[in-house]
A and B are shown apart, each in its own frame.
Chain A
């Protein structure tokens, strides 16, 4: 990571906004003992300073955000161009065909001939391989038939025969190859593998034959009184083991012979393997993995850590005037456990069977039985249950829950214990209230999911049936499990977290937006007290609405009536929050810098997301809409242009405090407008698709479904917009990194804001404040009548000037 403190070993002495306090200060006049040695590791890596941990969280979660986004882009490619290989060449051909069709259709429509328009077809795909490829595959397969004859394992003699025959055939092929490139390549590719196979199989096969003879002897000697014989059992076990070894070697070679191919291997296949991306075409299971991991990464690894952990860690202690978090070591542990959880989850892409593929909700029994090694090819059955995709997902989740537990305890304790002198509850910046409520949601809603994750892990590893009903049949095979479990139990435990989680995502963004709006309208936030009350009510209600995610389970009318009612009630505090923020704009002197653009865009975008949720709150309409793209559009409007915009605004807003440099305004605006336009083009058409009944989990994007035929073309629009959305993130990424070095230097309070974080040195040293701040007024004292400046920091000592009247008003 870039070194943010290096340039400011003698911090800026700008006192703008620091009121009566001097910001002159060196790093050595405050009390902490560690992190001052200049040791790189303890300062920048294993730091216990809340600001460094906040920045670590920020960079890590932004990286995960990008990863999660790229996963969904791969998925979008499959949806727009089903069955086409994912290579740069095909991408450009497909996208230009889409553009040509769009242009052609528009032209035809302008000329009134839209009905007669015939779209240009996409070029033929890899489903029709070249003649060389087919010939190559056939020759490899014929060699395979000779090398691995059926029933061969019974006799080593037969094995030797087939090895001889294979060699003879190979020589024959080599001799007759001539200029035939295909045959030459077959001989070259196959020879090494077949020799290797013959060398490896000889000894195990001979051993197996010996053991089989011994088994026959022992069986004959056994009186077979049908009550078991330990000696016989030992021999049978040996035979089974020897047979397993032979099967494994054969299975391994036959698979690898089958994987040989003539055409060059596309990059996506090299990255994700033949099973997941055969020939660069996405396999259905991999499509499911991408969807599941996109959701998981975005929710648990990107947005919660960015909103709650990064900004909360960095900003909240500064805003309440604390020297650090209550428990700095726990804070560090929280980050490192989070990182471990993220790596464990992400690495599951590279284990046999691939990553978790049962959705980010991981409903059982699908999730409990997916990718168990017992169903793997024989040479992979040794793979441990605990290291399959879904198990790693669960282990990663348990780590993340532990991390969030440490974080939330820390946040609540800090907010209660470490508020500086005069920082009463109703003088807290609204951002801190959001963090406070979010921390309670994490503290109380996450543990039941941890319990559920432990139980699902037990289902997968210890063979229990917590979520598996009696008589379960998987892939046509009745399972010999104890049964008696309840799939609904998982859903309840999951959504008991899942719904509060929505507010864990939302509230930090609301907090950021509030701070940005207050700063950039130069007037107090409208209705501070109602905002605080709303956020508390919201936090409480979020615990009793979870089953509205489960209307499709066929719950009874009494239960569903309760959850419909609470769901509608919870929209009241949400609307109060949005309305208060909207009214805050009224009559302000608005500064439309980049953070403000993001913050103002948040309001209508979140509004769209929220209002489109109302049909989903009612059982009757939800039954129709629930499994369609409508739901995807609804919650993505909340999360992507809503929450993510709020958090982007937060990055631009607090960046100068973190690094002492401003981000580039021009590229910030390019980032905003580009993202704003493309993200709406991505999600708005999904409402149309959903209302037309397009199911949200179709692997081919609905191409083969009659119901979707009128709206399926939107897939191309959505996917192309999503590719452009990625392009518009490049200015942001560059802006973040390049501004570390080349951004214009700034003073302590570039935005002329009032909250306490802007009266620390920039960047703040260890211990944050040069002297303990004392607060005597509310957080948003902007444009106080009669004052020279249009802002009055919370800790500013206001002279009883101008007529002897105390100008510092009471709470807003």
Chain B
């Protein structure tokens, strides 16, 4: 058996899952299951939010250890589901290591095009306004603010400055934009609901949920990292909203 390929497959699977915010125990579980195919004496996989470590050892071979740094973080639930399916197939013997490795390499399938996703992002804001008890006018204004948010997110692709500054920028633009809209259109809507629903796509829901789940499993390193991530994102949104409201002078009505 090609042990190097096996370790590479395990690391690649772990990397994809970690980069897409899977729970830490699930990442370790997937890597361990792939390594167990080798039936060697020592198989060890460690996953932390910022890195992966895998070791394979046996009296018959030279030990193989691979370390992988994880620096990008995004959420793509489809990739997690696909890695899960590929691992299931691999461990049940339905496909070879080479096939699994190739499948993992070509996992970047576009499910929804970016226009569709942008539209969904603005719709989140509109529906959140209704969910929080707003009327149709709040929903419509939130939809516009959500669209402003989507447009301001396009700056992200042009420059590269780290997520804290971006979150501050987006929420400042949305807060300022909403209060300017209210001032110049003279429409009577609840600005609190509109701003809350339009910052909803930025809110660290993923980080909060995963931080709690990792804590329960005893992965304190990962859960601590994710909890800090959630607090920092929340703070950046708060700072941004505060800046936006102070610049434009807050509520008009």
- Answer yes or no: do A and B interact: no
Interface of A toward B, CB cutoff 8 Å: none
Q: Which residues of B contact A (CB under 8 A)?
A: none
